[in-house]
Amino acid sequence: MAQVILAREREHKSGRPYSAMPCLFVLLALASRVSGDSFPIDYRQCQSFDDFGWPRFESDEALVSSPWSAYLTEVYGALPVEYPFCTFDLWLIGSVPAFPSLNLTLDPSKASLLNRINHTFHAGDYDDGDFFQTSFGMWIYHSDVVVAEQNTWLEVQHMLFETERQAMWFTRSRGSGIWYNVGRTISFVSDDGHNAAYAYFAARGCVYPLPPNPPNGTLNCSAPAQVEYCLEIASYSENAMAVCAGNEGYESVQFASAPGPIVNIFGRVGWLELFSTSLQGKYACGTPAGGTSAGFRFGWNAREPCNCIEGGYQYAPTNCDGNRIVV
């Protein structure tokens, strides 16, 4: 059956210029939507009228009196600069020291590390606001995940994978406090997004090397014992595609699910993933130099350069621990 592949490529933009505004509140509103480099920010507070059971804070005073104050300060280095602030805006909830004080309860019936890996879920299996464990952190489910526009700063999460030799893969993760600029980007919105991308770049001359044969001639990527081998096999095509995308002038390639099945990979459901063609995911910090060399940013609205400390071990996280304030 033929699949409809939606590949969207928009014109390269240089960012949104500032203009003189007569009112201070207008200036503040504009500043909240651009980074220090004047590129768009993928974040708008309290866009949903429904909080789905998650706390909403109308003022700084209300937030300061809540356990969420310490949590957000640990993650972002400071409290939010705009109110109201809605905790439902967050996708990722981190295991920082202040987390236990939030008294949150995970839903054990949802996806997790060893629970239905690569299982296909369907509409109705997850509801907005569901809180569940994944292989790489705790997650608040959102049904409205969409790809980012050109040159947008968005919050990401990455774990070191030694197989990411020509690309650095991210999960789009509002709530991480770590920002990456997608630059010139192309998006594939499909329930078979990786294959859609492979076909797109193959039509433009990309050649994918053949991976090694699986042991005993069989491979089951739903079996936890074979996940690492599956990643190694997939990396042959993924790294080749990253080189081809970079040669086409793309800084990033994004993948999002079309309306329909939701696939659980590493416990993620309804996720948006993307990769950088200029960074290497075999380093937690994206480059062997670490520090600020990869260009990540940290804090609310990507306010400052991220000082990443290289972990050097499998699954070591991208971090801004050189910036982070621990209370």
Which are the contacts of 57, defined by CB distance < 8 A and separation ≥ 6?
A: 63, 66, 68, 83, 84, 85, 86, 87
Rounded distance, CA 317 to CA 285, Å? 8
Residue 26 is assigned to a structural domain of this protein: no
Q: Are 132 and 107 in contact (CB under 8 A)?
A: yes
* The token pair that represents 256 in the structure block: 């999002």
Residue 173 is assigned to a structural domain of this protein: yes
Residue 85 is assigned to a structural domain of this protein: yes
Q: Are 166 and 27 in contact (CB under 8 A)?
A: no
* Secondary structure (DSSP) of 176-227: S-EEEE--SEEEEESTTHHHHHHHHHHTTT---PPPPPPGGG---TTSGGGH
Instruction: Tell me the pTM.
Output: 0.84
Residue of 231, 229, 117, 210 lying closest to 167 (CA atoms) = 231
Residue 91 is assigned to a structural domain of this protein: yes
Residue 207: CB atoms within 10 A of its CB come to 8
Residue 22 is assigned to a structural domain of this protein: no
CA atoms within 13 A on the CB side of 170: 30
> Which helix (H) or strand (E) element contains residue 74?
helix 68-76
Q: Which domain does 255 fall in, by range?
A: 56-321
Residue 200 is assigned to a structural domain of this protein: yes
How confident is the model at residue 304, as a pLDDT? 96
- Written as tens digits, the pLDDT of the chain (327 aa) is 333 233 333 333 333 333 333 333 333 333 444 554 568 998 889 999 999 999 999 999 999 999 999 999 999 999 998 999 999 999 999 999 999 999 999 988 876 655 555 566 666 788 899 998 887 889 998 888 789 999 999 999 999 999 999 999 999 999 999 999 999 999 998 877 789 999 999 999 999 998 887 777 777 776 767 777 777 888 999 999 999 999 999 999 998 876 654 555 665 666 789 999 999 999 999 999 999 999 999 999 999 999 999 999 989 999 999 996 554
Rounded distance, CA 252 to CA 323, Å? 25
How confident is the model at residue 266, as a pLDDT? 64
Residue 312 is assigned to a structural domain of this protein: yes
Which are the contacts of 145, defined by CB distance < 8 A and separation ≥ 6?
A: 172, 256, 257, 270, 271, 272
Q: Report how far apart the first and last C-alpha atoms of the chain are (Å, whole number).
A: 56
Q: The dihedral of CA 229, 230, 231, 237: what is its sign?
A: positive
Number of domains forming the structure of the chain = 1
Residue 13 is assigned to a structural domain of this protein: no
* The token pair that represents 8 in the structure block: 């969207």
